[in-house]
Chain A
Amino acid sequence: MSGGAGARRASERRRASIAPAMGIALERRDVRGGALGAVRRAVASDLGARIASYLLLLLLWQLVALYEDRFPDPAEVFGFLWIEVSAGSHGGVVRGQFLEHFAATLPRFGLGIAISMALGIATGVVIGASRMAEALFKDTLLVLLALPAIIWAFLTQMWLGLGDDAVVITTFLSAFPFAAVNVVQGVQAIPRDLRRMSTAYGVSAYRRFRHLQLPAVTGYMFAGLRFAVIIGWNAVLLGEWFSASEGVGWRSRYWYDANRYKGFVGWVVIFILFIVLLDRLVLVRLQRRAFRWRDAQLSEVEREAEEVDLGVTGA
């Protein structure tokens, strides 16, 4: 979108730091030698900052637990998690179950995402390529994007009763519009000038597909996949909360209904960890790789802002 001149101007602007003029002290590297200096450097390093942030989070958690008796503190929750994951005994006849519930959830989740990606890509290509289809169906897509997953969880339960179907369809219906909208953006982002030039120079259909259409759409497709997965994970949990008798969402509800909040919070830790690791270790990397032709000149801050924002931009 931005031409070479714009990018040059932006980099020129950024070259100088705003810090000195603003009177913000530049970060001082501690140059003192010895053990004390080493400790200070470690505390001030990026890793030190990250560790400090996790410690602060644990502290906040502990404070909330002190303020509200019902809410378990970190030690209780991690104790619970150990028993649950290692299939130990929770006391009485209830045993820890971890793999069983993931084994029930993952096929539902995978199937829902697969259907939403297949239909999302097909719909996205049609809407992106035809102005008539865009005029007719873009608003429908907008309404679908706006529907909260809870509506689908309720509707599928009323339509299909309890069971796998309701969960899979909740996942599919919630994730589908996010996949479709991103593919629409990708198809529409194919640069018009390049399209015209390929026509003028008689570039073959294969080369056009390989070097123009495919690279333009791939990045958006991975972005679509990423948000379909994030939205779909919430949907599968909600679907299981209301319509299943096993699975990650059901198990967290099981502990919630039993008034064993440490169990509930423990499962929240598990399902957050699952999606965060999947996103940061797999999906973000795929998306970055597919977009690298486009985002090479962006600064790190801009790139991260883009990654965070992209999910909610919708149309």
Chain B
Amino acid sequence: MAAGDGSVRGAGSTIVGHGPRGTAHLSLAARRRVRGLVGFVLGVGGFLLVWTLLTELVVGEFLLPPPLEIGGEMWAVVRTGEFFRQFVPTIERLAYGFGLALLIGFPVGYLTGTSRYWRAFFHDMVMVAGSIPGITYAVMALVVLGISELGPVLSVGLVSMPYVAINVAEGLDSVDRRLVQMSDAFGRSRSAVVRHVLVPSVAPFAFAGVRLSFALAWKVEQLTEVFGSSKGVGFQIRKEFEDFSIPGMLAWVLLFIVFMILLERFVLVRLERYLFRWRLEEQG
């Protein structure tokens, strides 16, 4: 949706910009930057507005402290370095979990996409995995593994795996058959077809699976850390809950959300655009 809007706007401004080439470019970039800045200010302003209204009119300052107080709390958590000490293990587990999801999801997706038998075999598991409540993974991990490093990693892996698998299968489904037939006609080896046709077609889909499951995966990871972990952001949230500290809990969760949204916007979306760039060229 966003990409579509962007291209429409881009096309409009190239038609309009018939001044000297340099200034047209500058004004386009500048305009885009200003628009981004205004959007950011409005978005943050709207968020603070909703929050303040809730505090003042509905819930009260004791139960939902105003933004300024939480801001101070967040700053304290960052300044002492505590945030990064807890953030690093959480991110590490997330990364291992995604590694696991790719490791299992790729073969499952490949089998699903190429064989009728395996498609029927994995169908139910892949289709229902998304609706299994997160609390299942969290408490099961605690029962089977106790308080351990492996629990959050396994939860992330199991939650994300079906998304990787189904997207890999979709990627195989979208492979341009004519390219495969042409490679066959020109006598390319099987490994060359895999390397130059299948992998480039499927990789973006697999990555899309990871990116899509990102938001879900870290929620389940938080939950697993709340139930059975001795460090990490989820564990801190639990500690603040047990201390009955609403500001502390909100500070931790909001900091984490801000970092996750930044990570998604600036790392994952760019990486995906990079992997997908050949498709954009094809469409253009």
Which A residues have a C-beta under 8 Å from some C-beta of B?
1, 10, 12-19, 21-24, 27, 44, 46-47, 49-50, 52-54, 57, 64, 68, 70-71, 135-140, 142-143, 145-151, 154-155, 158-159, 185, 188, 230, 233-234, 237-238, 241, 249, 252, 256, 261, 264-265, 268, 271-272, 275-276, 279-280, 299, 301-302, 304-305, 307-309, 311-314
Count, chain B residues at interface, CB 8 A: 83
Q: Note all chain B residues with C-beta closer than 8 A to A307.
A: 127
Which DSSP category, helix, strand, loop or mixed, fits chain B's interface? helix
A312:B125 contact, CB within 8 angstroms = no
- Chain A proximity mask over B220-257: 1 for CB below 8 Å, otherwise 0: 00110010000000000100010010100100011001
Query: What residues of chain A lie closer than 8 Å to B114, measured between beta carbons?
Result: 18-19, 22, 24
Interface contact B46-A308, CB-CB below 8 Å: no
Q: How far is the CB of B121 from chain A (nearest CB, A)?
A: 4
CB-CB under 8 A for A302 and B47, given A68-B144, A185-B1: no
Chain A residues closer than 8 Å to B122, beta-carbon distance: 53
Please, which residues of chain B bring their CB within 8 A of the CB of A14? 173, 177
Q: Is the CB of B136 within 8 A of A272?
A: yes
Supplied contacts A46-B117, A150-B223, A271-B136, 11 more A-B pairs, CB within 8 Å: A1-B4, A18-B114, A27-B117, A50-B124, A53-B125, A151-B237, A252-B139, A256-B143, A301-B170, A305-B169, A308-B162
Chain A: minimal CB distance from B3 (Å): 11
- Which residues of chain B come closer than 8 Å to A140, judged between CB atoms? 43, 46-47, 50
Contact A155/B246 with A21-B180, A46-B120, A313-B212 known, Cβ cut-off 8 Å? yes
Residue of B nearest to A148 (CB): B219
Contacts of B180-238 to chain A: CB distance below 8 A: 180-181, 183-184, 190, 193-194, 198, 208-209, 212-216, 219, 222-223, 226, 237
Among B132, B213, B244, residue most surrounded by chain A Cβ atoms (within 10 Å): B132
The residue on B at minimum CB distance from A252 is B139
A interface secondary structure, majority? helix
**A154→B47 contact, CB < 8 A:** no
Which one, A138, A150, A264, A280, contacts B43 given CB within 8 A? A138
Chain B residues in 8 Å Cβ range of A21? 180-181, 183-184, 193
The residue in chain B whose Cβ has the minimal distance to the Cβ of A311 is B130
B118 at the interface (CB under 8 A from A): yes
Complex contact B212–A154 (CB within 8 A): no
19 contacts between A and B (CB under 8 A): A12-B178, A14-B173, A16-B180, A18-B172, A70-B143, A135-B39, A135-B46, A143-B254, A146-B257, A146-B261, A158-B241, A230-B130, A234-B133, A276-B132, A280-B127, A299-B173, A302-B173, A307-B127, A309-B208
Q: Which residues of B contact A24 (CB under 8 A)?
A: 114-115
CB of B269 within 8 Å of the partner chain? no
Residues on B with C-beta less than 8 A from A299 are 173
B163: which of A70, A276, A280, A312 is its contact (CB, 8 Å)? A312
- Check if B131 sits within 8 Å of A53, measured CB to CB: no
Decide if A275 touches B133 in the complex (CB within 8 Å): yes
Q: In the A-B complex, list the 6 residue pairs whose CB atoms are closest, starting with the nearest.
A: A139-B43, A136-B46, A49-B120, A234-B133, A46-B120, A305-B170
C-alpha spacing A27/B116, complex, angstroms: 8
When the two chains form their complex, are residues A304 and B166 in contact, meaning their CB atoms are under 8 A apart? yes
Q: How far is the CA of A305 from the CA of B213 in the complex (A)?
A: 12
A312 & B120 in contact (Cβ 8 Å cutoff): no
Residues of chain A within 8 A of B172, CB atoms compared: 18
> Would you call B163 and A308 a contact (CB within 8 A)?
yes
Residues of A within 8 A of B134 (CB): 149, 234
Given the known A-B contacts A50-B121, A154-B237, are A308 and B216 also in contact in the complex, defined by CB atoms under 8 Å? no
Q: How far is the CA of A6 from the CA of B203 in the complex (A)?
A: 22
B34 within 8 A of A: no
* B59 in contact (CB, < 8 A): yes
Q: How far is the CB of B267 from chain A (nearest CB, A)?
A: 16
Contacts A149-B134, A308-B130; is A17 near B177 (CB within 8 Å)? yes
Whether, in the assembled complex, B123 has its beta carbon less than 8 Å from a beta carbon of chain A, the answer is: yes
